[in-house]
Structure formats: C-alpha cells, structure tokens
Structure 1
C-alpha cells in the first residue's frame, strides 16, 4: 500500500487544569477555556485518530493498521505489539498544576489493568517565567515516610522541583512521582496507556464540586522511593542532522533543527516515524507524497517508506520511532 505522510484530526481533552494555549499558540480548534490536551496520534479505545489529509481522509488509524499492519507499523513493531499502536502522542497545556502522580511498570499494569505501563518523555515548548515541574523526590524516602507525609498533608516537602524553559527535556520512567506545573506547554511522547495513579490533587474540586479520586493504596507498590537524577535529558542541538535525545525500549526520540532540506534513507528502519513540529514549519515527504506541518502539528510516516525528506529553512522537529 502506498501511504503518504498522514496528519490526523486533534482529539481535544477538557481538563480541570487546562487553559487556552493549545488554541492561542497552536491554533487548535478548542471550544472552551479548560482544554488541557491535544491527542495527536492515538489508538486508545474511544479516542482513535482519524486521518485529516489526502485521499485517506476520514479513515481511522486503527483501520489502516488492521488492514496494513506491517506496512504502517513495521514488521518488528507488529512482532512486539501486534496490531496495537504502541505510543500515544500529545500536546499539553497546564494552566494550573496537574495532580501529583505516577505510573506503574508493564508488569504491574498488566496484572492490575491488562494494560501497558506508562513510560513518557516531555519536551518543553513554552513556559511562563518561574514555571516548574515536579520530578521525583528531593531525598531518599521510605514507604513509611511517604505514607506519613500523605497523612499529614506534607507530601510537597518531599518533592523535587525543576524550573523549566523552552527546549528542556525530561524522561519520566515508571514509578517516578511527577507533575507538570502551571504555565507549562509541552510535547509528550508515551507508551499507549492511560493508567495513572493520582496521589495528591491540591484538594481541588471538579466542576460538580467533588474531589477527584486518589489512588493512594495502589501507588504504594508502584512507586520508586529513591532520589534519582536520571530525568533531565542532555542532547546535542547541531543543525541539519539527527541528534539523539531518548532511546528506551518503548520509543526513540531525536531532535532535528533544520536550516535547510534534509534527506534520510530509512529503508532499514522497520518502524513508522513520527514528526512533531515544535517550532517553525516544514514539509515532510516520502516517495508517496508529502504533508506540511507547522508548530503544534504532527505527521506519521509509514514503515514501508524507503526515504524521508524534510524540507524547511527554519523548523525544529522531534522525530519518534520504535
């Protein structure tokens, strides 16, 4: 099957902590002032991406995978994940602090939820002055110390805060307590999973006046209680080349800063390729066609592509493969 670079209709998510920047900055068609997420590429049940460009417009990504799995995903991806798209791609606007949470690993998620775990990475696209993230603990703690801090409403005293600016990148492995802070807009790449253990939500109430559910007990056996400085990603920003950012078992992400056209031979890749445009505008082309992406847009190139050409005089892209 000849599959040109595919764009999808954004799946917009209303969130208690969301704002308007997905519309203000990226021109997403938001309908309210608490839009927190734009799911760019998804096959999560009930939130399956639909093609928005070209002759395949209106087709769902899952339909394309079901009928052309190896061509879309790659043989190696199908051997690992079957006909499931293994990652979920999002843009997130945090007008308020997100809840403090963590995600279980594959083993625990499979046992409890028949799901994958949730390893993820964040690339900061915009941040208000003074904005920060919570990533991990500020010291080693015991399970008992952690439980006591929850009981006494002192959890915040144990957490590590990181000031952020555009371009900062964080890798969030399973078990690590974390939260996105107010004033941050970011690109998120994660395993296909919606399993989250919320442990503290600043005692906020939803629109109906109810406190949101916490997962205090479930989090205890999923959490890493040690202080680790393994989350900040250092990467090269050399122009017009592919710079490695993250290489983990679930996804690989590269940073590409374009000032001219860049052609890549991907005949041996055996994986789909995703481009998230985090600044500027570019044309993504394979042998079957092309698509234009601007800041805040995403494109999927099928695994049966032999080459990719990125055409731009000014753009920054995150390249994601398996």
Structure 2
C-alpha cells in the first residue's frame, strides 16, 4: 500500500434543523441552506466515503479496506473488526434544535437492526450565546414518569439542560437521552451506526406539512433512566495528546499543535485527525501534505512515524 494521510469527499446531508455554518465556518460546499451534517469519514452502508486526493482518489473506503485491511486499520483493530471500519466522523450544524433522541446499545442494535450500537462524543466547535444541549435526566426517572411527561408534552421539564461554549466535550453512552440545541457546531465521533430512536421533535413539520417518524416504543427499553455525568474536562498541553475520552470504542485526545510535533505510533490502530482550528502540514519521508480547519484525515496504521507542523487545534482519535 502507498502510505499517505487519506482525506475524503464530505457526504453532505440536508436536515430540517440544518443551516449554513458548515460552509461559512468549515468551507464545505453545501448543496442547501439547511445542510445539517457533513459525514467526513464513513463506512455506513449507502454512505461510504470516497478518497478525494492522491493515488487512491475516487476509491471507496470499503474497497481500500478489502485490499489493505491491516495496513489501514492496524493489527489489533483488524483482528477485532475484520474489514469493517468501526467509527463514523461528522460535523453537525444545528441552526434549530435537533430532536430529543436516544441510541440503542450494541446488544439491542444487533438484535433489532444487525448494527453496532451508537456510543458517541461531541466536541463543541462553535456555540452562539446562550446555546444549550440536553443530556440525560435531571434526577433519576422511570419509564412511567418519562411516558407521562412525553404524553403531556412537557418532557423537557425532567431533562438536564446544559449551557455550552467552544471547547466543551460531552461523552454519551448508549441509552442517554439527548439533543443538540440550536446555535451549535459540533464535531461528532461515534460508532459506525445510523440507528437513532427519535422521541420528540418539537411538533415541527417539513415543507410538505409532514412530521418526522418517532420511535417512542423502541426507545423505552433502550433508555437509561439514571442520571449521567456526560461532560469531560481535559488538559491542553501543547504538542501532545491530552486524553478527553477513553472508552472501549475509541480514544479521543486534544492535540494543540504549535510549531512542530513528532508522532510515533505502534501500528495497532489507525489514527484520525480532525482539524477544528488553524492549519498544519503532515510530513512523512520528505513528503508534505497541507490541511486546514474542517479537514478530517485518516492516517493508516502502517504509517507509524510522521511529524505535524503549524498552528492548529486537532482532535486525535484511535482505538486503544
């Protein structure tokens, strides 16, 4: 395999709650004024990422994984997942509130949808004044209390609302009831899954006057009714990995780059870098590749020693 950092064509998704910040803030060529998501790196069936540059330009990720599973994924990840890419990376622009929703765990998702569950994390890239998210219950709840409030259209009264600012990090285990609020741009890292149980959609309708499908029954036994501590605090040491989230599915670190950093990996896992601020070059064996805010790159596991140069805020993700 020819080793270099792979960057992919964004897969852009129109959403009822989307806006234009993916273009204005991140330089994406959005097709509509309500573009809510940019899938940066995906192996979800029907939405498989395609390489945008270099010798593998126009190749789908799935094809590369069939050809070079160990070189890309790394020995440990390949042993665990075969030729499946286990994570999904997105940017989200919430002009309006997203629906209140929950994701099933691995067991339930496998049983009902033959899919992975959807453990995820959010990194807030931008937040308007007063913007908030919904994560979990204010106090321990129950299926009965939850259904009563849902039916009375006052579910929000028992949910935990948190004001957010740029740089905030939230880790959402499966079963956590949640919603991203209006006025927020988020980088999302999650398991490869598109299974969402939508519980409440603010009674809104689309241009045809139709409301979106709800999954109230399915959500009942997928939900965690306990309170959860979702916000993560982290250090910001320059030119090094500052772990924000470490879970069985992924490890995400904050990597503030200033000047030059030499990186050495052991080949057990691929590495992904999401650039949330600034610009930088990736240098390997005398070759240089330039990236900027809004770029997400996949570094094959077989590319173990490289350097990063520039001034940028990076999120570094691998499976440890």
TM-score range with shorter-chain normalisation?
over 0.9
Please give the per-residue CA displacement for 1:195-216, whole angstroms capped at 9, x wherever unaligned.
0000000001122211111100
TM-score (norm 2): 0.98
- What runs of 5+ residues in structure 1 fail to find an aligned partner? none
Aligned to 2:317: 320
CA distance 1:286–1:250, change in 2 (3 Å): farther
- Give the secondary structure class of the aligned counterpart of 1:260: strand
Match of 1:270 in 2: 268
**C-alpha root-mean-square deviation of aligned residues, in Å?**
1.0
Q: Distance in 1 between matches of 2:285 and 2:70?
A: 17
Matched, 1:258 2:270: no
SS of the residue aligned with 1:213? coil
Q: Is the 8 A contact 2:75 2:267 kept in 1?
A: no
Query: 1:308 Cα shift?
Result: 2.4
> SS at the partner of 1:108?
helix
Q: For residue 291 of structure 2, what is the aligned residue in structure 1?
A: 293
Partner SS state of residue 237, structure 1: coil
Distance in 1 (CA, whole Å) between partners of 2:92 and 2:72 is 26
Greater CA drift, 49-58 or 103-112: 49-58
* Secondary structure of the corresponding residue to residue 261 of structure 1: strand
CA apart distance, 1:315: 0.5
Alignment of 1:165-180 (within 5 A): 165-180=165-180
| Cα distance between partner residues in 1 of 2:169 and 2:296 | 18
- Deviation readout 1:96-143 (Å, 9 max, x if unpaired): 000000100000100010000000000000010000000101111111
Distance 1:73 1:58, change over 3 A: same
Structure 1, residues 199-239: CA drift from partner, whole Å, max 9, x if none? 000001122211111100000000000112x2101100111
In the alignment, is the contact (CA less than 8 A) between 1:282 and 1:294 conserved in 2? yes
Mark the CA change 1:65 to 1:225 in structure 2 (over 3 Å): closer, same or farther: same
Q: Which runs of structure 2 are paired with 1:241-252 in the superposition (5 Å)?
A: 241-252=240-251
What residue number does 2:203 align with?
203
Q: Residue 231 of structure 2 aligns to a residue in which SS?
A: coil
SS of structure 2 residue aligned to 1:279: strand
Residue 288 of structure 1: how far off its partner (Å)? 8.3
Structure 2 match to 1:110? 110
What is the rounded CA distance, in whole Å, between the counterparts of 2:99 and 2:252 in structure 1? 26
Question: Secondary structure of 2:278's partner?
Answer: strand
Among 294, 307, 310, the residue aligned to 2:308:
310
The 2-side partners of 1:60 and 1:133 are apart by 34
Residues of 1 paired with 2:28 and 2:171: CA distance? 26
Distance in 2 between the 1:42 and 1:292 partners?
Answer: 22
Q: Within 5 A, what are the aligned runs for 1:142-157?
A: 142-157=142-157
**8 Å CA contact 1:11, 1:49 repeated in 2:** yes
Conservation of the 8 A alpha-carbon contact between 1:4 and 1:288: no
Match of 2:280 in 1: 282
Q: Which runs of 4+ in 1 moved over 6 A?
A: none
TM-score (norm 1): 0.97
1:289 deviates by 4.2
Indicate the SS of the match to 1:291.
strand
